[in-house]
Amino acid sequence: MRRPIIAGNWKMYKGPAETAAFVAELWPQVRENKEVEIVVCPPFVSLEAAVRAGRDTAIAVGAQDVYWEKQGAFTGEVSAGMLAEVGCRYGLVGHSERRQLFGETDAGVNRKARALLEVNITPIICVGETLEQREQGATARVCQGQLEAALQGLSPEQVGGLVVAYEPVWAIGTGRNATSADAQAVIGDLRRLVVSLCGPEAGKNTRFQYGGSVKPGNIADFMAQPDIDGVLVGGASLVVADFAAIINYRVAAG
Ligand code: 13P
């Protein structure tokens, strides 16, 4: 059984004080929910505050990026070991904003995922097509290419432990989510790709998220899809009431 995983990607929002207050306010609203694994991904400088505020809770903390080298003259970068030291359990890699705005490549995504795995941080590998690629009918090719590149050199066991987030670029921050059927179709193909590359066990265990304009009102549809195991939430994860409602989607749906 794959445990549902709901993660908030805060992007460049919330410093340490706001982060600590958010976690403290969120926990009482989600503590009864034992089913869903909850992750918040604040900016680097707020990671420690999130870990501290979440210490006696089941809220895990993830980073939004990482650099693959262990240490060295890499101004501005943060290593996987440093993230592990402050208590991160997850790390986003390959978010479309990193790919589009900061030159992230498929090869870099692979190196980052490997660096995280070396220190037992679970990578959340993000893949997704642009609107132009979707209109050209290239969605499957693009997403599968990104995933295959990200998985290079990983063992089937490592792949089975991963989280993969399918985030169509045109659905991010636009209010225009993919339909749950479209998301299921892409993610079903990605799961079949994992099976063909790494075997049925890995394919059964890898958890897939959908991301892109997830809200309290559409989460249940996504979670009802057989291959969707969770969501990666941007904007709606910045508001405690909305993020709590997303996490508690089963209760909310009655
Ligand atoms: P939104 O939920 O704001 O569309 O952002 C999605 C996202 O990029 C999460 O990583």
CB atoms within 10 A of CB 145: 14
Are residues 146 and 110 in contact, defined by beta-carbon separation less than 8 angstroms? Answer: no
**Residue 254 reports pLDDT greater than 70:** no
Name which residue sits closest to atom 7 of ligand 1, judged by CA. Answer: 234
185: domain CATH number? 3.20.20.70
Question: How confident is the model at residue 253, as a pLDDT?
Answer: 54
Count of domains in the chain? 1
**Residue 252 reports pLDDT greater than 80:** no
Kindly report, residue by residue over 91-150, the tens digit of the pLDDT. 999 999 999 999 999 999 999 999 999 999 999 999 999 999 999 999 999 999 999 999
Range of the domain at 20: 5-253
Instruction: Tell me which residues are annotated as active site.
Output: 95, 167
Average pLDDT over residues 64-83: 98
232 Cα nearest atom in ligand 1 = 9
97 Cα nearest atom in ligand 1 = 8
Q: Which of 35, 47, 117, 37 lies closest to 78 in space, CA to CA?
A: 47
11 Cα nearest atom in ligand 1 = 10
**Residue 201 reports pLDDT greater than 60:** yes
Pocket test for ligand 1, best of 214, 219, 238 (most atoms within 8 A of CB): 214
User: What is the Cα–Cα distance from 145 to 249, expressed in whole angstroms?
Assistant: 32
**Residue 161 reports pLDDT greater than 50:** yes
User: What is the Cα–Cα distance from 167 to 210, expressed in whole angstroms?
Assistant: 6
Q: Using a cut of 0.75, tell me whether the model's pTM lies above it.
A: yes
Name which residue sits closest to atom 1 of ligand 1, judged by CA. Answer: 234
Kindly report, residue by residue over 53-69, the tens digit of the pLDDT. 999 999 999 999 999 99
Kindly report, residue by residue over 12-57, the tens digit of the pLDDT. 999 999 999 999 999 999 999 999 999 999 999 999 999 999 999 9
Confidence band, pLDDT 50/70/90 cuts, at residue 1: confident
Average pLDDT over residues 60-87: 98
Look over the chain and give the mean of its residue pLDDT values, rounded to a whole number: 97
Confidence band, pLDDT 50/70/90 cuts, at residue 166: very high
Report the sign of the C-alpha dihedral through residues 189, 195, 200, 203, in that order.
negative
Are residues 246 and 6 in contact, defined by beta-carbon separation less than 8 angstroms? Answer: yes
Question: How confident is the model at residue 23, as a pLDDT?
Answer: 98
User: What is the Cα–Cα distance from 36 to 5, expressed in whole angstroms?
Assistant: 6
**Residue 191 reports pLDDT greater than 90:** yes
